[in-house]
Structure 1
Amino acid sequence: MLDSMRNAAKSWVAKVLMGLLVLSFGVWGIEDMFRFSATSALATVGDQDISSQQFTESFRRWLQNYQQQTGQTITPEQARLLGLDRQFLNGMIRDAALDAEADKMKLAVSDNQLADIIRANPLFHDAQGNFDPRRFAEVLRQNGLNEAAYLASERQRFLRGSLADTVQANFVAPNTLKEAVYRHRNEQRDARYFVLRPAEQDIPAPSEQDLKTQWEKNSAQYTAPEYRVIAVIKADPEDLAPAIQIPDTELQAAYDKYKLDYFKPETRAILQIPFPSVDEAKKAKERIAAGTDFLALARERGLTDADASLGELSKDKIFDSIIADAAFGLAQDQVSDPVQGKLSVVLLKVTKITPEKQSTLDEVKPELTSRLQLEKARSAVQTTYDTIEDARAQQKSFEDIAKEVNLKLVITPPVDAQGLGKDGKEVDVPFKNNVLKQSFESDTGVENDVLTTPSGGFVWYEVREVTPSAVKPFDMVKAQVESDWKAQKLREVALEKAKQMVERARNGTGFEALAGEAKAEIKTVLGLKRNETTNEFDQQAVAALFMVSENGFAYALEGDGKGAKVMQSQAVLIPTFDPNSEEAKTISKALSDGAGGNLAAGYAADVQNEVGVYVDENMWRQVTGANAN
């Protein structure tokens, strides 16, 4: 799996994503990374030093936040194998160089502008979408930041972004490139095809030696997986919360503090019909007064019932304040006089009014109790962590530790890396995917690093037993081996026959004659695109069809492996490029974004060359335990 991750990390897409992750998580993990340290510099960027301690702490925080926000566990060793540690250092170097460039250009952002940026961040908004100072303070606290450090890091991030955005903004891809991509995406082909399916009698019966050879050469198919018994202790805020008692006095104080969270403003179900003028609206109002149904009138004007409905909204959710004031001044089922809104003249009707409601303490007591329990649990979980780590340092067993902290100890039955027991059924493992992944990279007798959960909890685990994987005896899997051998032979026969038929078709044998030999029906499919599949044509068949010219012949294995498709490409449609179409605009944006990103990366590299960058590779090896990259 690590090999796959490592290969994926080499792609340009992964590099772009890593850059975005470093940029976004940098807000929470690198706020003090350019304060000078007395320790030796791991890297020097112009006149700024990045110490080994700054890198280590920042990278650790980034990994922790990454795990909490994605729910995926990644250890420092895995990060090193993927090269994420070096990419992170490169991100710190890039940011330092851009900071130096911003200083050189005397760029600045005003306090008011910075405040507007922070207030607009959804991370700090309450349930109504408004900036919440309490939420702001809580998020900073959870991430170990104070307000001054956060403001400083946001100021730097904004200035860096201003430089990068200026470089990559407004890049326009040439029409020739856009047209080439458009035509490649939208080329369509028709095809005639038939499917030949060899019968089992078309292949010889396997000998005993054939089956043993199949078993020996494909031993992985007949190998029982490795099983492990794992002991797990999980301390999550959700696990600790139910046992925490909340006194009535605290509930009252919390209710007073969070009272607005349990307030629901008045809402109204509103119908609206727009008109081009006040006069037309007045005439319509007269018809309604005379008995014409409001929605019937809306339908006369080409509106559906859904078009005429604004929904059930609170006053602050209506964009036009003039219309909001008018709607909330009506009685239920009353139709308004013509209202001259900001965009049009409308008639309004309120069909339902739900009064505002302030829930009482008794009404929200269960919800508020759970909320306070969880808040306290988030603090208590750190105490539990310290207690368990102290106990582990004293070499106490998991059984004793679980009793000491009053948490459940889970000892799994033998389980494989996919979470299945020996009976093939799912095994219940706390924090399952992460615990299994790490357990199968550990061993018995090893003290493992604690895992962190997305909700801020901790998980400890140890491997108790290992049952190695082993090839199942031939006699035990003989029936499966024979079935696999026959399936493989059928695939080989199908492909070979399809290949021969395509060769004969290319040499002049009629398509109908070939289908007759195969006793197969010729079918037609229309409008295939290069990057689309259908029930009849999977990606392999589509790819084969688009590799030949018009009227050319191709073949591909069927998805079930029991036959092969013989195809003849028919009409080829090359679409006309319309630079004003929505798809052309989408292609243009994708090309521009990609090229713009490359320009920004090139600019950042030039800035680094200008200010000068030095990395102490000997110190790097000491810090990461890796060879220099």
Structure 2
Amino acid sequence: MLDKLRDSAKSWVAKVLLGLLAASFVVWGVADVFTFRPGSALATVGDQEISAQNFTDSYRNWLQNYQRQVGQTITPEQARLLGLDRIFLNGMIRDAALDGEADKMKLAISDQQIADIIQTNRAFHNSQGQFDPTLFREVLRQNGLSEAGYVAGERQRFLRGALADTVEWNFTPPNTLKEAVYRHRNEERDARYFVLRPAEQDVPSPSEQDLKTYWEKNSARYTAPEYRVIAVLKADPQDIAPKIQISDADLAAAYDKFKRDYFKPETRAILQIPFPNVDEAKKAKERIAAGTDFMALAKERGLTDADASLGEVSKDKIFDTIIADAAFGLAQDQVSDPVQGKLSVVLLKVTKINPEKQSTLDEVKNELTSRLQLEKAKGEVQNTYDAVEDARAQQKSFDDIAKEVKLDLVVTPPVDPQGLGKDGKEVNVPFKEGVLKQAFESDTGVENDALTTPSSGYVWYEVREVTPSAVKPFDTVKAQVESDWKAQKLREVALEKAKQLVERAQNGIAFETLAGEAKAEIKKVEGLKRNETTNEFGPEAVAALFSVPENGFAFAPEGDGKGAKIMQSQAVLIPTFDPNSEEAKTITKALTDGAGSNLAASYVADVQNELDVYVDENMWRQVTGANAN
């Protein structure tokens, strides 16, 4: 289900749904839920309680994982300002509500089903794609989970999904809605147009006062950014790893330990043709033996190349073990006898065999060396972190700390929030994005917490100098102000003249006459769609054209701001809706997923309303450090 959600989150519909989901938090109780109720629990959902300790531990783990995923450091204060803590608590409340509903409906899942779900999780598969119990326990250990706790969590996740997903999957959009979306997407228009370009002499010369007034009203455009000088220390495994020496003995021991990681099982390129029964398969085998090509026979039976191919796979990747045994028992280019699999009868042909291979130590020496270097570097980074923090506790300067722990101290020249110096060029800032974001929210004389990098490293920084932002003096930017003023006036003149021309066209003046007055050539464009642009027709022009009926007139600014496009909409093509087309199917899926998700959100909200949800606001402030609303 999580994979499904991740894939769906990449679509345009999902982006709309995220907005709906955010709005639904209001329904779920972001405002109403957070009310005071005496008691020891942070939140109660029906007869279930969410303790302060449970929330704190879960939220901390989630925030750490989130930072690793986005590759960006987020402090607790920033997370609080973004409302992530409240959103996370609402998620816990949602889960508790679904748990309560599942209990009420007496939903259950067997231990064997849970075991099957866990064994199919790729996070617990070894390099051969098989479930590895040792790896399973190691992953749980690294994430601070017990086996019992993880199994219980998977059981809850499955049951919650059984409720929410059922609501989502049952939605079917009406044909009227599908057809409306299809037509909106595919409506096409032709147009005649010409471009009006006023001459610069049509714009009067500005007075000194005109320029000063423009400069004052648009001061942000002429404001120099704030600059800061930042000192940075960075200890990252990726930087330290190449300097670490790995002995031959360590390599040999590591090779023995990780040998299976460098083993590639035998793979085969396999073709198959399914048949309804053994007799038909035998007749087909006889034809192949008499000279009929295997793939020609497959195409006779309506199969494409992709349909007939299993790809190049290892034996364990074939679901049907009977077919797997048969395929891996054939010689290359040999066609099998009819094979009665679990689901169908098939003929098999192996077209390529890649033998299994165990890479030698010499073959993987470089890769294995890098692997060991990185492992050892992580340990050294942790030691460096402890040493730096001890030195900071003793109030030692960054300069002295850098010498003690043998780290490079980088002191930047004045740099703006985008990482540019006063000359407009990029400034070298270690862990740039994280350091700049935090440094511009800190100040001189402040001891800042270390930042963590995506590769489990650490970065320390301090602000040494601040140059406040300021509006550049008028005299230093006068030329730029005059250029900007003229550009704006030229755009205003173009749009005003274009508006007048469109009004005259609507009053019956011939389009050719108007183009002649503007000394412009009439051009044509065909087959424009509402959500498509061309070099000649940008978003504003397309939107203006689709805002008028057939034979209507419209205008829009040119992309360079120096003119305006005057348009007449001509032929309008509204395509016939084909419910069986691929696009119609895509639209159906998008609408189903979108509306289904919204229904699921409404269902969860209704469940929560029935259960009575309360949050102890006083305890919330104690747990998160938030101020009262």
| TM, length-normalised to structure 2 | 0.85
Shift of 1:265: 2.9
What CA distance in whole angstroms lies between the structure 2 residues aligned with 1:280 and 1:99? 55
SS at match of 2:42: strand
User: Counterpart in 1 of 2:617?
Assistant: 617
Q: Is the 8 A contact 1:203 1:490 kept in 2?
A: yes
1:16 maps to 2:21:
yes
Contact 1:67 1:453 in 2 (8 A): no
Partner of 1:7: none
Q: Does 1:203 align with 2:192?
A: no
> CA-atom RMSD, angstroms?
3.4
C-alpha change, 1:565 and 1:583, in structure 2 (3 Å) is same
Report the alpha carbon displacement of residue 348 of structure 1 after superposing the two structures with TM: 4.4
Q: Give the match for residue 385 of structure 2.
A: 385
Structure 1, gaps ≥5 residues long: 1-9, 21-38
- Aligned residue in 2 for 1:177: 177
In structure 2, the CA distance between the partners of 1:147 and 1:407, relative to structure 1 (3 Å rule), is farther
Q: Deviation of residue 57 (structure 1)? A: 2.9
Q: Does 593-602 or 460-469 show the bigger shift?
A: 593-602
Deviation string for 1:594-614 (max 9, x for gaps)? 332232222222322332222
Residue 56 of structure 1: how far off its partner (Å): 2.6
Specify whether residues 468 and 522 from structure 1 end up closer, same or farther in structure 2 by C-alpha distance, changes over 3 A only.
Answer: same
User: 1:277 Cα shift?
Assistant: 5.9
CA drift of 1:19 comes to 9.8
2:487 partner SS: helix
User: In the alignment, is residue 424 of structure 1 matched against residue 429 of structure 2?
Assistant: no
Contact residue 545 and residue 554 of structure 1 kept, 8 A: yes
Aligned AA (1:357): K
Shift of 1:420: 1.3
Q: Give the Cα separation in 2 of the matches to 1:141 and 1:173.
A: 45
The verdict on how the C-alpha distance between 1:335 and 1:58 changes in structure 2, with shifts beyond 3 A counting, is: closer
Which residue identity is paired with 1:466?
Answer: V
- Name the residue aligned to 2:397: 397
1:265 alignment partner in structure 2 = 265
- Residue 287 of structure 1: how far off its partner (Å): 5.1
Q: CA deviation at 1:150?
A: 1.5
Q: Given residue 137 of structure 1, which amino acid in structure 2 is its aligned partner?
A: R
Quick check: 1:86 aligned with 2:91?
A: no
2:567 is paired with a residue whose SS is strand
User: Alpha-carbon deviation of 1:299?
Assistant: 11
Aligned equivalent of 1:142: 142
Deviation at 1:11, TM superposition (A): 7.7
Structure 2 CA distance for partners of 1:84 and 1:480, relative to 1, 3 Å = same
Residue pair 1:97, 1:608 contacting (<8 A) in 2 also: yes
Which deviates further from its counterpart, 397-406 or 314-323? 314-323
In 1, Cα distance between the equivalents of 2:284 and 2:100?
63
Q: 1:96: Cα distance to partner?
A: 1.5
Distance 1:432 1:344, change over 3 A: farther
Q: Structure 1, residues 510-556: CA drift from partner, whole Å, max 9, x if none?
A: 11111111111112222222222222211111111121122111111
Give the Cα separation in 2 of the matches to 1:561 and 1:247: 66
Q: In the alignment, which residue of structure 2 is the partner of 1:586?
A: 586
Report the count of equivalent residues: 595
| Matched position secondary structure for 2:465 | strand
Q: What is the CA–CA distance in structure 2 between the aligned matches of 1:588 and 1:298, rounded to whole Å?
A: 32
Counterparts in 2 of 1:212-227, with a 5 A limit? 212-227=212-227
The separation in 2 between residues aligned to 1:196 and 1:528, in whole angstroms, is 21
Distance in 1 (CA, whole Å) between partners of 2:446 and 2:258 is: 46
Aligned to 2:34: none
User: Which fold has the larger relative contact order, with Cα–Cα distance below 8 Å and residues 6 or more apart in sequence?
Assistant: 2
How far off its partner does 1:283 sit? 5.3
Q: In the alignment, what sits opposite 2:576?
A: 576
Q: CA deviation at 1:148?
A: 2.0
C-alpha displacement of 1:490: 1.4
Q: After alignment, is 313-322 or 141-150 more displaced?
A: 313-322
Structure 1 Cα separation of the partners of residues 514 and 270 of structure 2: 68
Counterparts in 2 of 1:454 and 1:348: CA distance versus 1, 3 Å: same
SS at match of 1:258: helix
Partners of 2:220 and 2:373 lie apart in 1 by 50
Counterpart secondary structure, 2:386: helix
For residue 505 of structure 1, report the CA deviation from its aligned partner.
0.7
Distance in structure 2 (CA, Å) of the matches to 1:323 and 1:600: 41
Residue 481 of structure 2 aligns to a residue in which SS? helix
Shift of 1:627: 4.7
In 2, Cα distance between equivalents of 1:84 and 1:306: 45
CA distance in 1, matches of 2:214, 2:193: 33
* Among candidates 334, 337, 346, match of residue 336 of structure 1: 334
Answer yes or no: is the 8 Å Cα contact 1:64–1:452 preserved in 2: no
The answer as to whether partners of 1:227 and 1:417 remain within 8 angstroms in 2 is yes
Instruction: State whether residues 268 and 354 of structure 2, in contact with CA within 8 Å, keep that contact through their aligned partners in structure 1.
Output: yes
Pairwise mapping of residues 20-31 of structure 1 onto structure 2 (< 5 A)? Answer: none
1:464-503 equivalence runs, <5 A: 464-503=464-503
Alignment-mate amino acid for residue 185 of structure 1: R
Deviations 1:385-420 (A, max 9, x none): 333333322222222223333332222222111111
> Quick one: distance in 1 between partners of 2:375 and 2:24?
33
Letter in 2 for 1:544: A
**One-letter amino acid matched to 2:230:** I
Matched residues, percent identical? 78
Distance of 1:167 and 1:299 partners within structure 2:
41
Distance 2:544 2:348 in 1: 61
CA–CA separation in structure 2 for the residues paired with 1:134 and 1:537? 60
Gaps of 5+ in 2: 1-14, 26-38
* Cα offset, 1:617, TM superposition: 1.6
Q: How does 1:75-114 map to 2 (within 5 A)?
A: 75-114=75-114
Structure 1 pair 577/104, CA: closer, same or farther in 2 (3 Å)?
same
The whole-number CA distance in structure 2 between the counterparts of 1:45 and 1:85 is 18
Cα distance, 1:42 vs. partner? 1.8
What is the deviation of 1:624?
Answer: 3.0
